[in-house]
Structure 1
Amino acid sequence: MRFIVLGAGAIGGAVGGRLAAAGHDVVLIARSAHAAAIRGKGLRILDPEGEQVVNVPVAEHPQEITFAPEDVVLLSVKTQDTPAALRDLAEAAPASTPVVCAQNGVANEDMALRSFDNVYGMNVMCPALYTEPGIVQLHSTPVAGTLDLGRYPSGSDDTARKIAAALSSATFPSEARDDIMRWKYGKLLYNLANAAEALCGPSVRVGPVATHLRGETDACYAAAGIEPLLEPGDSPRRGFIVDLPVRGADRAGGSSYQSLLRGTGGIEADYLNGEIARLGRLHGVPTPVNAAVQRLANHHARHRLAPATLTDADILRAAGVA
């Protein structure tokens, strides 16, 4: 089994690098500056215990790769970049190629299913960071994160079990699950505050905005008949993942915070808070705070505004619930 990692940023780079370090066959697909840095000096993986340099093949486009029957694609771009990534992949890879959506949200799998026969969802629980070309950071050790997966829309198979075994050998405990999308809806509950954190800073995760976001989502899930799954409070897996400093520095916010910090021009809010707004519109459930966070996050991303410039009160005022 060869792993083709499409999107070698924080998650893709860290997972692909650790798989390669564990002896698995891996090819990374990364953007030009990142690819050049990896090609020249290897992929540097920083974690709380030190640094690891992994020499791993890297390409800049799927068409540079000759795909083989044993290949598995780990899709790890941000959701707003998924349509373009899948178009590129579909031109190069057979439709039978397994595609694992190692991404936040619940929209990527359905997009992938339009072009590929074998699609898998992955529930990514991993505090990682893409800092600069050629470098990724993992803030949890000795377990880097948990990466459960299963077929989309449901079920499991030998491919999922083989992928899980490979990941488990590479510091990412993984289980093949028949109901992976219920787990991904559970992860979405955590991700609701990502864009709010980008707008206001980490304190928003325990403030009134977070309370509204969760309340709206619970109401939408109930109306849609969605039953999310989360690790039970007494599960030993809850202690697997920690968020520790790397080289004396704490992780500077989640993925959405990093999007604003790096001024990428895009953010995942349409597929996190926007997913809840969509469910609300489908089922007649008001979602003013999720919709406001989505709009404000998109505005900040488009205009490349700095993170942590708003307050809870600003968001609630924009939502009309202040």
Structure 2
Amino acid sequence: MRVAVLGAGAIGAYVGAALHRGGTDVHLIARGPHLDAIRANGVKVLSPRGDFVAMTPATDDPAEVGPVDYVFLGLKANSYASCGPLIEPLLHATTTVVAAQNGIPWWYFHGLKGPYEGRRIESVDPDGEVTRVLPLERAVGCVVYCSTEIEGPGLIRHLEGTRFSIGEPDGTTSDRCLEFSAAMVAGGLKCPVETDIRNDIWIKLLGNAAFNPISALARATMVEIARHHGTRATVRLMMEETLAIAAAVGCHPAISVDKRLDGAQRVGAHKTSMLQDLEKDKPLELDVILAAVVELADLTNTPAPTLKAVHAVTDLLSTKVGTA
């Protein structure tokens, strides 16, 4: 079993190091000083579960790796459409792409029985650009419940969580999911194979769709948003609207808004990924996290006034990122 991690950033390098520790033949695709450090000294992981070093092969040229059985996609979703030249050398006829992305994936309606089966979500797959690069039959969903950060080149700080839920778009328990799950578990991670991965998608999205844009607009941490009366009320409305949209497309995640808000407050002074990207003047991952939710609201005629208002303002903000 050969695995390539395309986008060996904080999450990707951590997963790659864990897979290597478990005995998988894994190759990291990275760049810059981070790549240089990995080549020289491997990936060093600092974790409350125990520090370790993984001497994983690493390159910035996927052609040096060649075809693999699995590609763990650690890129931000807004770069999927342009990743063709990077991923093509890694593919053979049955290569599986495990996409560890936030928000609504490009494959969302693939294999989902019901009135929207096979429908393309334009916000995340405009004109089918992502599907052309990442064919639907290759996709396995992955929802990340893990927090890591790059503390320095080749140095990954694991903060909390080891769960990577995976699942087939059609809800089956496939051999490829079971094989990948076993490799992750051998490396010390949790990797349950879910028959309804969309449930996990909406549970995580319930927080991301609200906290990420609000954090970027207010330059605020999770605990600041949860404790401020006005933003807490706004997040509550956004979460309630998100749950209604999920129900309209046939998903009913069993989680309360109050529990989600209280959990966010306990996280403390944590900056969301969108706020971190904003501070680094990087493109905001807005399409899959919020624009897609608004698109599904329109598709299902579900009222979403708060989501739409916050999306409009954050979308304007996103046009100013990278223009300074």
Matched residue, 2:238: 213
The correspondence of residues 1-322 of structure 1 with structure 2, limited to 5 A, is 1-48=1-48, 51-68=51-68, 71-86=69-84, 88-90=86-88, 92-109=90-107, 114=132, 115-116=134-135, 117-140=137-160, 144-192=161-209, 193-200=211-218, 201=220, 202=222, 203-205=224-226, 207-228=232-253, 252-264=270-282, 266-304=283-321
Alignment gaps of 5+ in structure 1? 232-242, 245-249, 306-322
Q: Render the CA deviation track for 1:170-194: whole Å, top value 9, x for unaligned.
A: 2321111222122212221122222
Identity of aligned residues (%): 29
Cα drift, residue 139 of structure 1: 0.7
Residues in 1 aligned to 2:279 and 2:21: alpha-carbon distance in whole angstroms: 30
Alpha-carbon offset, residue 300 of structure 1: 4.0
Deviation of 1:216 (Å): 1.5
Render the CA deviation track for 1:178-236: whole Å, top value 9, x for unaligned: 221222122211222223223321222451221121021122223333323669xxxxx
Q: Deviations over 1:110-146 (max 9, x none)?
A: 6665444332101211122234432222112xxx421
1:225 & 1:177 partners in 2: Cα distance? 16
Distance in 2 between the 1:73 and 1:176 partners?
A: 17
Secondary structure in 2 matching 1:5: strand
SS at match of 1:45: strand
With normalisation by structure 1, the TM-score equals 0.78
User: Contact 2:4–2:90 at 8 Å: present in 1 too?
Assistant: no
Between the aligned partners of 1:53 and 1:302, the Cα distance in structure 2 is 40
- Is the CA contact (8 Å cut-off) linking 1:19 and 1:26 kept in structure 2? yes
How far 1:99 sits from its partner (Å)? 0.7
Mean Cα displacement is larger for which, 17-26 or 286-295?
Answer: 286-295
> In 2, Cα distance between the equivalents of 1:156 and 1:134?
35
Instruction: Please give the alpha-carbon distance, in whole angstroms, between the structure 2 residues aligned to 1:251 and 1:23.
Output: 36
Distance 1:223 1:109 in 2: 18
Equivalent residues, number:
284
Aligned to 2:115: none
RMSD: 2.8
Q: Could you state the TM-score of these two structures normalised by the residue count of structure 2?
A: 0.77
